[in-house]
Amino acid sequence: MTLAPSPADLQQPVVRVEGLRILFPSLDGSDTVKAVDGVDFEIRPAETFGIIGESGSGKSTIGRALVGLLDATEGVVELDGRTLNAIPRRERRKARQSYQIVFQDPHAALNPRMTLMESLTEPLRIRGGVSEDEMRRKAQESMERVGLRAEMLGRYPHELSGGQKQRANIARLLPLNPRLIVCDEVVAALDVSIRGEVLNLFADLQRDFGIAYAFIAHDIAVVAQVSDRIAVTYLGRFMEVGPAEAVTERPMHPYTTALLSAEPRPLPAHLREARRIDLKGEIPSPVDPPSGCRFRTRCPWAQERCKAEVPEWRELRPDHYVACHFASPDGIQAPMAAAAGD
Protein backbone atom coordinates (compact mmCIF):
# COMPACT_ATOMS: atom_id res chain seq x y z
CA MET A 1 0.00 0.00 0.00
CA THR A 2 2.83 2.36 0.85
CA LEU A 3 3.85 4.44 -2.12
CA ALA A 4 7.58 4.72 -1.74
CA PRO A 5 8.60 7.91 -3.51
CA SER A 6 11.05 7.31 -6.35
CA PRO A 7 14.32 9.28 -6.33
CA ALA A 8 12.95 11.51 -9.07
CA ASP A 9 9.98 12.42 -6.85
CA LEU A 10 12.33 13.40 -4.07
CA GLN A 11 14.00 15.91 -6.32
CA GLN A 12 10.84 17.48 -7.61
CA PRO A 13 8.94 19.30 -4.88
CA VAL A 14 5.17 18.99 -4.73
CA VAL A 15 4.90 22.73 -4.28
CA ARG A 16 7.29 25.40 -5.40
CA VAL A 17 6.43 29.01 -4.62
CA GLU A 18 8.50 31.87 -5.89
CA GLY A 19 8.10 35.58 -5.27
CA LEU A 20 4.45 35.12 -4.31
CA ARG A 21 2.52 38.33 -3.72
CA ILE A 22 -1.21 38.49 -3.09
CA LEU A 23 -2.76 41.93 -2.87
CA PHE A 24 -6.33 42.88 -2.08
CA PRO A 25 -8.02 46.25 -2.38
CA SER A 26 -8.96 47.62 1.05
CA LEU A 27 -12.64 47.91 1.96
CA ASP A 28 -13.08 51.40 0.56
CA GLY A 29 -10.89 50.59 -2.41
CA SER A 30 -8.44 53.41 -1.73
CA ASP A 31 -5.59 51.25 -0.48
CA THR A 32 -3.93 47.94 -1.16
CA VAL A 33 -3.69 45.27 1.50
CA LYS A 34 -0.47 43.36 1.03
CA ALA A 35 -1.62 40.05 2.49
CA VAL A 36 1.31 38.10 1.08
CA ASP A 37 4.25 40.20 0.06
CA GLY A 38 7.01 38.10 -1.41
CA VAL A 39 7.50 34.55 -0.15
CA ASP A 40 9.50 31.67 -1.58
CA PHE A 41 9.38 28.06 -0.43
CA GLU A 42 9.06 24.44 -1.46
CA ILE A 43 7.12 21.56 -0.01
CA ARG A 44 8.72 18.19 -0.58
CA PRO A 45 6.79 14.96 -1.19
CA ALA A 46 5.37 13.42 2.00
CA GLU A 47 6.62 16.39 3.99
CA THR A 48 4.71 18.40 6.56
CA PHE A 49 5.47 22.06 6.10
CA GLY A 50 4.19 24.05 9.07
CA ILE A 51 3.22 27.71 8.68
CA ILE A 52 2.76 29.70 11.88
CA GLY A 53 2.01 33.33 12.53
CA GLU A 54 -0.46 35.68 14.18
CA SER A 55 -3.74 36.72 12.59
CA GLY A 56 -3.02 39.00 9.68
CA SER A 57 0.30 37.38 8.92
CA GLY A 58 -0.96 36.00 5.60
CA LYS A 59 -0.69 32.32 6.47
CA SER A 60 -4.22 31.35 5.39
CA THR A 61 -3.90 33.42 2.21
CA ILE A 62 -0.79 31.45 1.30
CA GLY A 63 -2.70 28.21 1.93
CA ARG A 64 -5.52 29.24 -0.35
CA ALA A 65 -3.11 30.21 -3.11
CA LEU A 66 -1.55 26.74 -2.96
CA VAL A 67 -4.81 25.08 -3.99
CA GLY A 68 -5.87 27.72 -6.48
CA LEU A 69 -8.62 29.27 -4.36
CA LEU A 70 -6.84 32.59 -4.72
CA ASP A 71 -4.76 33.82 -7.62
CA ALA A 72 -1.26 35.11 -7.19
CA THR A 73 -1.04 38.81 -7.93
CA GLU A 74 2.62 38.27 -8.72
CA GLY A 75 4.95 35.32 -8.59
CA VAL A 76 4.63 31.65 -9.27
CA VAL A 77 2.84 28.75 -7.60
CA GLU A 78 4.05 25.52 -9.14
CA LEU A 79 2.39 22.20 -8.32
CA ASP A 80 4.38 19.14 -9.35
CA GLY A 81 6.20 21.27 -11.85
CA ARG A 82 3.11 22.88 -13.42
CA THR A 83 2.42 26.55 -12.95
CA LEU A 84 -1.11 26.99 -11.67
CA ASN A 85 -1.70 30.40 -13.28
CA ALA A 86 -0.59 29.12 -16.66
CA ILE A 87 -3.24 26.40 -16.80
CA PRO A 88 -6.34 27.54 -18.72
CA ARG A 89 -9.31 28.07 -16.39
CA ARG A 90 -11.34 25.26 -17.95
CA GLU A 91 -8.66 22.70 -17.20
CA ARG A 92 -7.77 24.05 -13.82
CA ARG A 93 -10.44 22.22 -11.88
CA LYS A 94 -9.05 18.93 -13.11
CA ALA A 95 -5.46 19.99 -12.45
CA ARG A 96 -6.37 21.03 -8.91
CA GLN A 97 -7.84 17.68 -7.89
CA SER A 98 -4.65 16.35 -6.37
CA TYR A 99 -4.22 19.45 -4.21
CA GLN A 100 -6.85 19.77 -1.52
CA ILE A 101 -7.67 21.83 1.55
CA VAL A 102 -9.27 21.06 4.93
CA PHE A 103 -10.67 24.04 6.82
CA GLN A 104 -10.85 24.99 10.46
CA ASP A 105 -14.58 24.72 11.03
CA PRO A 106 -15.63 21.11 10.45
CA HIS A 107 -19.30 22.09 10.81
CA ALA A 108 -19.28 24.66 8.04
CA ALA A 109 -17.35 22.47 5.62
CA LEU A 110 -20.03 19.79 5.30
CA ASN A 111 -23.34 20.51 3.61
CA PRO A 112 -25.99 20.10 6.34
CA ARG A 113 -28.55 18.84 3.82
CA MET A 114 -26.37 16.07 2.50
CA THR A 115 -25.79 12.69 4.11
CA LEU A 116 -22.20 11.66 4.56
CA MET A 117 -22.61 9.28 1.62
CA GLU A 118 -23.62 12.20 -0.61
CA SER A 119 -20.78 14.36 0.69
CA LEU A 120 -18.20 11.63 0.31
CA THR A 121 -19.18 10.62 -3.21
CA GLU A 122 -19.50 14.21 -4.44
CA PRO A 123 -15.81 14.72 -5.29
CA LEU A 124 -15.78 11.62 -7.50
CA ARG A 125 -19.13 12.52 -9.01
CA ILE A 126 -17.65 15.87 -10.03
CA ARG A 127 -14.59 14.21 -11.46
CA GLY A 128 -16.78 11.80 -13.40
CA GLY A 129 -15.96 8.53 -15.08
CA VAL A 130 -16.71 6.44 -11.99
CA SER A 131 -19.72 4.17 -11.60
CA GLU A 132 -22.18 4.72 -8.76
CA ASP A 133 -21.17 1.40 -7.18
CA GLU A 134 -17.50 2.29 -7.37
CA MET A 135 -18.16 5.65 -5.72
CA ARG A 136 -20.05 4.01 -2.87
CA ARG A 137 -17.32 1.46 -2.39
CA LYS A 138 -14.68 4.20 -2.28
CA ALA A 139 -16.74 6.16 0.23
CA GLN A 140 -16.95 3.11 2.48
CA GLU A 141 -13.22 2.55 2.20
CA SER A 142 -12.49 6.16 3.05
CA MET A 143 -14.76 6.06 6.08
CA GLU A 144 -13.00 3.04 7.45
CA ARG A 145 -9.62 4.57 6.70
CA VAL A 146 -10.40 7.60 8.88
CA GLY A 147 -11.82 5.47 11.68
CA LEU A 148 -15.55 6.03 11.11
CA ARG A 149 -17.99 3.15 10.83
CA ALA A 150 -19.36 2.71 7.30
CA GLU A 151 -22.93 2.64 8.61
CA MET A 152 -22.54 6.31 9.54
CA LEU A 153 -22.65 7.13 5.82
CA GLY A 154 -26.42 7.48 6.12
CA ARG A 155 -26.13 10.21 8.73
CA TYR A 156 -26.29 13.97 8.43
CA PRO A 157 -23.52 16.26 9.76
CA HIS A 158 -25.55 17.40 12.79
CA GLU A 159 -25.56 13.82 14.05
CA LEU A 160 -21.76 13.83 14.31
CA SER A 161 -19.38 15.24 16.91
CA GLY A 162 -16.77 17.84 15.91
CA GLY A 163 -14.02 15.24 15.74
CA GLN A 164 -16.14 12.92 13.60
CA LYS A 165 -16.98 15.77 11.23
CA GLN A 166 -13.33 16.62 10.79
CA ARG A 167 -12.66 12.94 10.02
CA ALA A 168 -15.44 12.99 7.44
CA ASN A 169 -13.88 16.08 5.85
CA ILE A 170 -10.62 14.20 5.53
CA ALA A 171 -12.42 11.11 4.22
CA ARG A 172 -13.94 13.17 1.40
CA LEU A 173 -10.50 13.88 -0.01
CA LEU A 174 -9.06 10.39 0.00
CA PRO A 175 -10.78 9.02 -3.15
CA LEU A 176 -9.03 11.79 -5.10
CA ASN A 177 -5.59 10.45 -4.08
CA PRO A 178 -4.33 13.87 -3.04
CA ARG A 179 -0.64 14.74 -3.34
CA LEU A 180 -0.98 17.74 -1.07
CA ILE A 181 -3.49 18.71 1.59
CA VAL A 182 -3.50 22.23 2.98
CA CYS A 183 -4.56 21.90 6.62
CA ASP A 184 -5.83 25.30 7.74
CA GLU A 185 -6.24 25.27 11.54
CA VAL A 186 -7.68 21.77 11.31
CA VAL A 187 -7.67 21.05 15.04
CA ALA A 188 -8.29 24.57 16.38
CA ALA A 189 -12.04 23.96 16.75
CA LEU A 190 -11.59 20.58 18.46
CA ASP A 191 -11.30 19.92 22.17
CA VAL A 192 -7.79 19.26 23.42
CA SER A 193 -8.55 15.71 24.51
CA ILE A 194 -9.45 14.59 20.97
CA ARG A 195 -6.93 16.63 18.95
CA GLY A 196 -4.29 13.95 19.26
CA GLU A 197 -6.57 11.41 17.64
CA VAL A 198 -7.10 13.58 14.56
CA LEU A 199 -3.40 14.49 14.34
CA ASN A 200 -2.49 10.80 14.48
CA LEU A 201 -4.85 10.21 11.59
CA PHE A 202 -3.07 12.86 9.50
CA ALA A 203 0.27 11.22 10.31
CA ASP A 204 -1.02 7.75 9.36
CA LEU A 205 -2.37 8.96 6.02
CA GLN A 206 0.92 10.64 5.25
CA ARG A 207 2.83 7.46 5.96
CA ASP A 208 0.47 5.27 3.93
CA PHE A 209 -0.17 7.51 0.94
CA GLY A 210 2.83 9.84 0.87
CA ILE A 211 0.67 12.96 1.15
CA ALA A 212 2.43 16.29 1.71
CA TYR A 213 0.82 18.75 4.13
CA ALA A 214 0.94 22.51 4.40
CA PHE A 215 -0.02 22.70 8.07
CA ILE A 216 -1.24 26.18 8.94
CA ALA A 217 -1.94 27.04 12.59
CA HIS A 218 -1.51 29.77 15.15
CA ASP A 219 -0.77 27.20 17.85
CA ILE A 220 3.01 26.86 17.89
CA ALA A 221 2.96 23.76 20.05
CA VAL A 222 0.80 21.85 17.58
CA VAL A 223 2.81 22.96 14.55
CA ALA A 224 6.07 22.10 16.30
CA GLN A 225 4.85 18.58 16.94
CA VAL A 226 3.53 17.73 13.48
CA SER A 227 5.92 19.51 11.11
CA ASP A 228 9.16 18.51 9.44
CA ARG A 229 9.94 22.12 8.62
CA ILE A 230 8.36 25.34 9.90
CA ALA A 231 7.91 28.74 8.29
CA VAL A 232 7.30 31.70 10.61
CA THR A 233 5.23 34.42 8.92
CA TYR A 234 4.86 38.05 9.86
CA LEU A 235 3.01 40.69 7.85
CA GLY A 236 3.03 38.71 4.64
CA ARG A 237 6.67 37.63 4.70
CA PHE A 238 8.65 34.74 6.09
CA MET A 239 10.90 35.63 9.01
CA GLU A 240 12.43 32.19 9.41
CA VAL A 241 12.18 28.76 7.76
CA GLY A 242 13.95 25.68 9.00
CA PRO A 243 13.72 22.19 10.45
CA ALA A 244 10.95 22.07 13.06
CA GLU A 245 13.16 21.17 15.95
CA ALA A 246 15.79 23.79 15.16
CA VAL A 247 13.18 26.54 14.75
CA THR A 248 11.43 25.74 18.01
CA GLU A 249 14.43 24.77 20.13
CA ARG A 250 17.06 27.17 18.80
CA PRO A 251 15.28 29.94 16.90
CA MET A 252 17.38 32.53 15.12
CA HIS A 253 14.79 35.25 14.49
CA PRO A 254 13.64 37.62 17.25
CA TYR A 255 10.00 37.16 16.26
CA THR A 256 10.19 33.38 16.54
CA THR A 257 11.92 33.77 19.88
CA ALA A 258 9.18 36.09 21.11
CA LEU A 259 6.36 33.86 19.83
CA LEU A 260 7.82 30.86 21.59
CA SER A 261 8.29 32.72 24.83
CA ALA A 262 4.72 34.09 24.76
CA GLU A 263 3.23 30.61 24.57
CA PRO A 264 1.79 29.80 28.00
CA ARG A 265 3.28 26.55 29.25
CA PRO A 266 1.21 24.14 31.28
CA LEU A 267 4.05 23.48 33.68
CA PRO A 268 4.45 24.11 37.41
CA ALA A 269 6.26 27.31 38.33
CA HIS A 270 9.62 25.72 39.12
CA LEU A 271 9.83 24.06 35.69
CA ARG A 272 8.90 27.05 33.57
CA GLU A 273 11.53 29.23 32.06
CA ALA A 274 10.76 32.51 33.70
CA ARG A 275 12.06 34.54 30.83
CA ARG A 276 9.42 36.08 28.68
CA ILE A 277 10.04 38.53 25.89
CA ASP A 278 7.24 41.02 25.92
CA LEU A 279 6.34 42.25 22.50
CA LYS A 280 5.13 45.79 22.55
CA GLY A 281 1.97 46.68 20.71
CA GLU A 282 0.31 44.77 17.94
CA ILE A 283 0.88 43.65 14.39
CA PRO A 284 0.92 46.77 12.13
CA SER A 285 -1.46 47.19 9.21
CA PRO A 286 -0.59 45.23 6.05
CA VAL A 287 -1.67 48.29 4.04
CA ASP A 288 1.46 50.14 4.99
CA PRO A 289 4.03 47.76 6.50
CA PRO A 290 7.06 49.30 8.26
CA SER A 291 10.11 50.10 6.16
CA GLY A 292 13.18 47.90 6.33
CA CYS A 293 12.45 44.92 8.55
CA ARG A 294 8.68 44.61 9.06
CA PHE A 295 9.10 43.32 12.55
CA ARG A 296 11.26 46.19 13.76
CA THR A 297 8.43 48.21 15.34
CA ARG A 298 7.88 45.43 17.90
CA CYS A 299 11.36 43.94 18.05
CA PRO A 300 13.21 44.31 21.36
CA TRP A 301 16.53 44.12 19.46
CA ALA A 302 15.71 46.66 16.74
CA GLN A 303 18.51 49.04 15.69
CA GLU A 304 18.72 52.00 13.33
CA ARG A 305 19.80 49.71 10.51
CA CYS A 306 16.53 47.75 10.69
CA LYS A 307 14.60 50.82 9.62
CA ALA A 308 16.73 51.49 6.56
CA GLU A 309 17.51 48.06 5.18
CA VAL A 310 15.34 45.08 4.37
CA PRO A 311 17.15 42.08 5.89
CA GLU A 312 18.54 39.58 3.44
CA TRP A 313 17.22 36.02 3.38
CA ARG A 314 20.22 34.01 4.59
CA GLU A 315 20.87 30.31 5.14
CA LEU A 316 22.71 30.37 8.45
CA ARG A 317 22.39 26.72 9.34
CA PRO A 318 21.84 23.84 6.92
CA ASP A 319 18.33 24.20 5.46
CA HIS A 320 17.59 26.92 8.03
CA TYR A 321 16.91 30.41 6.66
CA VAL A 322 16.31 33.68 8.43
CA ALA A 323 15.61 37.33 7.58
CA CYS A 324 17.31 39.36 10.30
CA HIS A 325 20.42 41.53 10.23
CA PHE A 326 21.48 40.31 13.63
CA ALA A 327 20.69 36.62 13.40
CA SER A 328 23.57 34.20 13.66
CA PRO A 329 23.84 30.41 13.95
CA ASP A 330 24.10 30.95 17.71
CA GLY A 331 21.03 33.13 18.03
CA ILE A 332 20.53 36.88 17.98
CA GLN A 333 23.72 38.93 18.03
CA ALA A 334 22.57 42.38 19.06
CA PRO A 335 22.06 44.25 22.30
CA MET A 336 18.42 44.29 23.39
CA ALA A 337 17.00 47.79 23.10
CA ALA A 338 16.57 49.46 26.46
CA ALA A 339 13.21 48.48 27.87
CA ALA A 340 12.70 51.73 29.69
CA GLY A 341 9.47 52.18 31.55
CA ASP A 342 8.60 48.50 31.37
Partner 1 sequence: MSADAGLVEGARRTGPRPSTSAAPLLSVSDLGIAFGPRRGFGGVRVTEGVSFDIARGERVGLVGESGCGKTVTGLALMRLLPPSARIDGQVKLDGEDLLKASASRMRRMRGAKIAMIFQEPMTALDPVFTIGEQIGEALRIHKTVSKAEERERVIEALAEVGIPAPARRAQEYPHQLSGGMRQRAMIAMALVCRPELIIADEPTTALDVTIQAQIMDLLARLSEDTGTALLFITHDLGVVAETCTRMITMYAGQVVEDAPVDEALMRPRHPYTSGLLRSLPQLNRGLGEDGRRQFAFIPGRVPSPMAMPAGCRFRDRCGFAEAGCERPQVLTDVGPDRRARCRRTEELTLPGAVD
The footprint of partner 1 (CB under 8 A) covers 54-55, 161, 163, 191-197, 199-200, 203, 207, 218-222, 224-226, 258-259, 262-272, 274-279, 282-283, 298, 336, 339, 342
State the minimum distance, in angstroms, from the CB of residue 238 to partner 1: 18
State the minimum distance, in angstroms, from the CB of residue 211 to partner 1: 15
Which residues make Cβ contacts (< 8 Å) with residue 88, sequence separation at least 6? none
β-partners of residue 39 are 20
Nearest residue to 322 via CA among 211, 237, 228, 200 = 237
Cα distance between residue 276 and residue 258, in whole Å? 8
State the minimum distance, in angstroms, from the CB of residue 232 to partner 1: 12
Cα distance between residue 209 and residue 179, in whole Å? 8
Nearest residue to 178 via CA among 157, 202, 199 = 202
Instruction: Considering the complex, state which of residue 37 and residue 228 has its C-beta at the smaller distance from partner 1.
Output: 228
State the minimum distance, in angstroms, from the CB of residue 20 to partner 1: 23
Note whether 67 and 100 are within 8 A (CB): yes
**307: phi then psi, degrees, rounded to nearest 5:** -75, -35
Instruction: Considering the complex, state which of residue 139 and residue 232 has its C-beta at the smaller distance from partner 1.
Output: 232
State the minimum distance, in angstroms, from the CB of residue 99 to partner 1: 24
Instruction: Considering the complex, state which of residue 222 and residue 323 has its C-beta at the smaller distance from partner 1.
Output: 222
Strands (E), 161-266: 180-184, 212-217, 229-234, 237-243
Instruction: Considering the complex, state which of residue 140 and residue 285 has its C-beta at the smaller distance from partner 1.
Output: 285
State the minimum distance, in angstroms, from the CB of residue 39 to partner 1: 20
Instruction: Considering the complex, state which of residue 98 and residue 104 has its C-beta at the smaller distance from partner 1.
Output: 104
Instruction: Considering the complex, state which of residue 88 and residue 264 has its C-beta at the smaller distance from partner 1.
Output: 264
